[in-house]
Structure 1
Amino acid sequence: MPHDRIRCAPLRARIVDAAAAAAHIGPGQTVAMSGFTGSGYPKQVPLALAERIGQAHDAGEAFQIRLLTGASTAPELDGALAKVDGIALRLPFQSDPDTRQRINDGSLAYIDAHLSHVAQHAWFGFYGEIDVAVVEAVAIREDGGIVPSTSVGNSKTWLDLAKKVIVEVNTWQPEGLEGMHDIYYGTALPPQRRPIPLEHTGDRIGETALRVDPDKIVAVVMTHGPDRNSPFSPADATSELIAGHLIEFLQHEVARGRLPASLLPLQSGVGNIPNAVLAGLAKSGFRDLTAFTEVIQDGMLDLLRSGVLASASCTGFAMSPQANEAFKREIDFFRGKIILRTQEISNHPELVRRLGCIGMNGMVEVDLYGNVNSTHIMGSRIMNGIGGSGDFARNGFLSIFLSPSTAKGGSISSIVPMVSHVDHTEHDVSIIVTEQGLADLRGLSPKQRAKVLIERCAHPDYRDALQDYFDRALRDSYGKHTPHLLPEALSWHQRWLDSGSMLG
């Protein structure tokens, strides 16, 4: 089996177990690992490293690493290292509960960065030197080129910059992934940058494997383990209502001549609401759509099969176990439809602007004037991170944010007087959708935005209170352009912290 997947003969001599590979990682080092939204991350070396760190701590020795990835990973990586207090610093995105707890209790430093920024910031030296890169692969080619698995993320940059490289070759990942990747090596630092020659979502502009100096590869580990496969949850009634409002809006935009019949390239976040939107597109009569996005999930596979979606460009997968098995069976079909790119390309602001992407992302809350909080609960507790939503919100043709109008059984309103944390300013937000309706904020002044958000998106239980706040702010605020009552602006959040409900 190693001979089938490791076609570079000299590297077969470097096959070791995970513990021996993890021994190349020392305390205080910066370790960059592959992985994006639970796909393509190393499975065994992080577990072995966590065991070693735990033993060091039991012996009274200090041992933590600085951990960089593409995006979120899985319990075998983030979770295992967080549980043994093995992470001193983490970036740029995470979704692990143990990691989140340590970030929020202040014991783990976290940098929440735009995903398009991470590779270039690493090249700029903002994160210091990268000591070790650990990446998952489907195979190693004869020339030492690494065929990535189900994500590319920042692996290109990690391999370029790291002093040492550890490769996990995962035989669970299908060999048919080879040829699906497009690794572009034409990026450069200012002032040497040149235009990226990508004009359509399906363009191939790079190579199908990652380059690496074979002399930097200090260990190869054979593994056989699945990605973090999140079970697919069918859309609930709220998600279907949100999707219905958005589909109706897109159809209206086509009828008005503001969008072509095939729309523009779609970017979609992960979860029930985006999957409901994708399911709605399948039934809506749209054809020959394209996606220029970060993640392929179950709904996009269905659209590709049906021909509703002609092609999809991404940097990773986020699929259920059932979808993963179907993907493996049909991989020859999908290899002609899906392109896996580095995230510095999948999230590149200039490409998002040029292609005219329609960005569809979730939010925690939005205020009366269109400022969106997508990362923090009650202003100070991080959920996961901004991820790539800012790349598409600031640069896309349409910036759409979707959310139920309430959370926690109705005790929290997602429409508030002032957001407790700002990720996307009012200048970057086009459309807000809840199950109550859709607010088109384009071309509206702040006070006009407040009116349509209250009327069309707020839950009835909170509509009168929002209107009362706005009316009094119009009368009593210091300025009338963006009226606020500063003593009350965040009082809804404080009320929830004090009583468990934003309702008065």
Structure 2
Amino acid sequence: MNSTTSLNARLRTPVMSAHDASALIRPGMTVAMSGFTGAGYPKAVPGALAERIEAAHARGEDFRVRLLTGASTAPELDGKLASVDGIQLRLPYQSDPTLREKINAGEVDYLDIHVSHVAQHAWFGFYGDIDIAVIEVSGIRPDGQLIPSTSVGNNKTWIERAAGVILEVNEHQPSGLDGMHDIYYQTALPPHRKPIPLLHPGDRIGGPYLRCPPEKILAVVKTEAPDRSNAFSEPDETSRQIAGHLIDFLRHEIRHGRLPPTLLPLQSGVGNITNAVVAELGKEGFGGLTAFTEVLQDSMLDLLGDGVLDAASATSLSLSPAGLARFANHIAKYRQRLILRPQEISNHPELVRRLGCIAMNGMIEADIFGNVNSTHVMGTRIQNGIGGSGDFARNAYLSCFLSASTAKNGTISRIVPMASHVDHTEHDVAVLVTEQGLADLRGLSPKERARKVIEKCAHPDFRSMLQDYFDRACRESYGKHTPHLLQEALSWHQNYVQRSSMRLP
């Protein structure tokens, strides 16, 4: 229970039910809500809004909203609103199966955006006016400042840009969150922006609280509900092999003087494989590490607790139920080393480049030349979105993409002749890793990359097929710099769509 919560009388803001607060949201509005990877999202107002939308549809009325968030949320928000056809447009990232189905059926417009761009695009006016922001906080201080919750995301910008604000004060969130955040306020727009004065992942450059003019706050809703956390599976043999290849590579870079023994600030995307890689770092004797990332998963929490990580900067927690309990029980210890920031800072390309991050992200597929698809299954069906992977991939000191070499019980090769959708071009990808091995693509020409990827990363069941494609392309391609057979470059994907397998008949 959050004993710091004080609904300041000076705000003169009505404390009301979620149903009454949701009545402030009208059809066609642009609504910005808190939430980033299942943390810090509003728990009550979205469900109440979904009930109102469903009732309106039953009366034959059109009621949908344009929905902006920090990243993915949870079934209580994305799932409920999608299930009643209440979303007209959604951005910038999602992972809800109901919403995904609606997007891929063409029933919801979806803008998949680099998460570092969202706040500045909102400030530039690219999304139009924001009517209402619905923001979860863990408390309201006596001076009216807001104690952020388990994610910061775009909340600072949503509060600043929205015409009105609904606050959900979640008393389930631990009181120890007070003081963990670093909210950096910079109001200047181009060309008057100043450099961000952050030199180390552990630096604090702002203050611990969000600010909102009292006259903007339309309603306060009290809640007491946990974040919807996701359980991470125990690392399987494939994940351990991928981790082993990458750690061997990092040690190689240390031996050759291209990395210090403490590495460089780590970024880890969401997922079981990247979570496993970070966990293995702790077992391999590394120390004095830092992280400059967007989400903090269980493995990084463990490294913080064990003293392997000296400092971690993120915008959100993405913890399992056990991880959330561990975080709450030892929050005073974690608060000394963990900082939660707005995502426009946690994912800022200039900071990523200047700090020299080691980026580790998952992928759907990569082609033999190193182009990576992070978002679309068979080139047409959105899975989740690009999230922050692009912010880090183009700007990291080392940009590593990790995946098993096959999917769907071996019927899909993750290494293909041509990526069916490209989120990260060959120019932004330094390292590809599967359980088969690691391809260091730095300094290689396209054909050299192709040979390395086929040899090191492809599954044996598909390696000869890839080699045959590449050999024929080298002989028959219209151009020989990046050789392709255009008539069959995407035939593997077509085979899967038609026969549920990329294997040759």
TM-score interval for Structure 1 and Structure 2 normalised by the shorter chain: over 0.9
Give the SS at the match of 1:212: coil
Tell me which moved more, 301-310 or 375-384.
301-310
Structure 2 distance, partners of 1:279, 1:396, is 21
* Match of residue 290 from structure 2: 290
Give the SS at the match of 1:323: helix
Structure 2 distance, partners of 1:4, 1:315, is 22
Q: Deviations over 1:142-187 (max 9, x none)?
A: 2221111100000000000000100000011001101000000025
- Counterpart AA for 1:430: A
Structure 2 distance, partners of 1:485, 1:456, is 22
Structure 1 distance, partners of 2:188, 2:390, is 22
- Which residues in structure 2 correspond to 1:299-318 (within 5 Å)? 299-318=299-318
- Which residues in structure 2 correspond to 1:335-374 (within 5 Å)? 335-374=335-374
Aligned pair in 2 of structure 1 residues 72, 2: CA closer, same or farther (>3 Å)? closer
* Match of residue 437 from structure 2: 437
Stretches of structure 1 that go unaligned for 5 or more consecutive residues are: none
CA contact (8 A) 2:167 2:219 kept: yes
CA contact (8 A) 2:13 2:218 kept: no
CA contact (8 A) 2:3 2:175 kept: no
1:12 positional shift: 6.6
- Which residues in structure 2 correspond to 1:86-97 (within 5 Å)? 86-97=86-97
Structure 2 distance, partners of 1:379, 1:4, is 49
Aligned length in residues: 504
Structure 2 distance, partners of 1:297, 1:416, is 30
- Aligned CA-pair RMSD: 1.0
CA contact (8 A) 1:2 1:12 kept: no
Aligned pair in 2 of structure 1 residues 23, 415: CA closer, same or farther (>3 Å)? same
1:306 positional shift: 1.3
Give the SS at the match of 1:121: helix
Give the SS at the match of 1:5: coil
- Counterpart AA for 1:36: F
- Which residues in structure 2 correspond to 1:198-347 (within 5 Å)? 198-347=198-347
* Match of residue 15 from structure 1: 15
Aligned pair in 2 of structure 1 residues 503, 307: CA closer, same or farther (>3 Å)? same
Tell me which moved more, 3-12 or 307-316.
3-12
CA contact (8 A) 2:100 2:383 kept: yes
Q: Given the alignment of the two structures, is residue 424 of structure 1 paired with residue 424 of structure 2, yes or no?
A: yes
Q: Deviations over 1:285-323 (max 9, x none)?
A: 110100000001110111011111111000001101111
Tell me which moved more, 278-287 or 462-471.
278-287
TM superposition score normalised by structure 2 = 0.99
* Match of residue 192 from structure 2: 192
The runs of 4+ residues in structure 1 deviating greater than 4 Å are: 1-4
Structure 2 distance, partners of 1:285, 1:502, is 41
Give the SS at the match of 1:327: helix
Tell me which moved more, 429-438 or 320-329.
320-329
Q: Deviations over 1:333-380 (max 9, x none)?
A: 001010000000000000000000011000001011100000000000
Q: Deviations over 1:384-423 (max 9, x none)?
A: 0000000000001000000000000000000000000000
1:122 positional shift: 0.3
* Match of residue 115 from structure 2: 115
Structure 2 distance, partners of 1:227, 1:361, is 24
* Match of residue 137 from structure 2: 137
Give the SS at the match of 1:179: coil
Q: Deviations over 1:14-53 (max 9, x none)?
A: 1100001101100000000000000000000000000000
Give the SS at the match of 2:130: coil
CA contact (8 A) 1:11 1:220 kept: no
* Match of residue 53 from structure 1: 53
CA contact (8 A) 1:187 1:194 kept: no
* Match of residue 410 from structure 1: 410
Q: Deviations over 1:211-255 (max 9, x none)?
A: 111111010000000101111210111011000100110011001
- Counterpart AA for 2:432: I
Structure 2 distance, partners of 1:244, 1:332, is 33
CA contact (8 A) 1:2 1:222 kept: no
Q: Deviations over 1:195-222 (max 9, x none)?
A: 0000000000001011111111010000
Percent of matched pairs sharing the same residue: 67
* Match of residue 386 from structure 2: 386
Q: Deviations over 1:454-504 (max 9, x none)?
A: 000000000000000000000000000000000000000000011110000
1:6 positional shift: 2.1
TM superposition score normalised by structure 1 = 0.99
Stretches of structure 2 that go unaligned for 5 or more consecutive residues are: none
Structure 2 distance, partners of 1:168, 1:291, is 30
CA contact (8 A) 2:2 2:172 kept: no
Q: Given the alignment of the two structures, is residue 176 of structure 1 paired with residue 199 of structure 2, yes or no?
A: no
Structure 2 distance, partners of 1:114, 1:410, is 31
Structure 2 distance, partners of 1:307, 1:219, is 42
